[in-house]
Amino acid sequence: MTTPTRRVLGIDPGLTRCGVGIVDVARDRSATLVHLGVIRSHPDLPIEQRLALIGAGIRAVIAEHRPHVVAVERVFAQQNRSTVMGTAQASGIALLIAAEHGLPAATHTPSEVKAAITGYGNADKRQVQTMVARVLRMDELPTPADAADALALAMCHAWRGTPTTASSGGALTPAQRAWANAEKAARR
């Protein structure tokens, strides 16, 4: 008898490079690499064309690999406003496409992902890549970093499930509490 698996599409949103990674995760938390890639758009293109390229790439990955769920990196705080805007726009496209395909979607902060993968919420990119490679039994580190981050997102979601929310009665981390408050304020 085979162990049921959950196929998770992780998306590290970005306009120039949008990382996509798919893993099959068994109930025993063992993970198998299904797909690793980056969807690219050229910075000289108009924003609507860049977003269309990202969307087409995500749709193609979903059509080919048929994930059960989508995990997207949550845009939280960055110094560069143009980077935040582009990341947020790509994130919105990813979430929209998940909904169009009837796929449940969740977002996870970078620190949640790092903690799930390495045990340390402030791990650097190399530490994340190393642990992703180790868990997936890869001979080399997954590259580029955007693609490795997408795999880490997928594994984080499979291992942690949907982040705890105030309505579920669970305790929120300070980052989750700040995010929940920001979302509540945005709905007003």
* Tally of residues, the chain: 188
φ, ψ (nearest 5 deg) of residue 19: -75, 135
Residues marked active site are found at 12, 73, 146
Euclidean distance between CA atoms 10 and 105, whole angstroms = 10
Look up residue 36 and give its two tokens: 């690793």
Q: Which residue has the tokens 């791990």?
A: 123
**String of DSSP letters for 109-159:** -HHHHHHHHHS-TT--HHHHHHHHHHHTT-SS--SSHHHHHHHHHHHHHHH
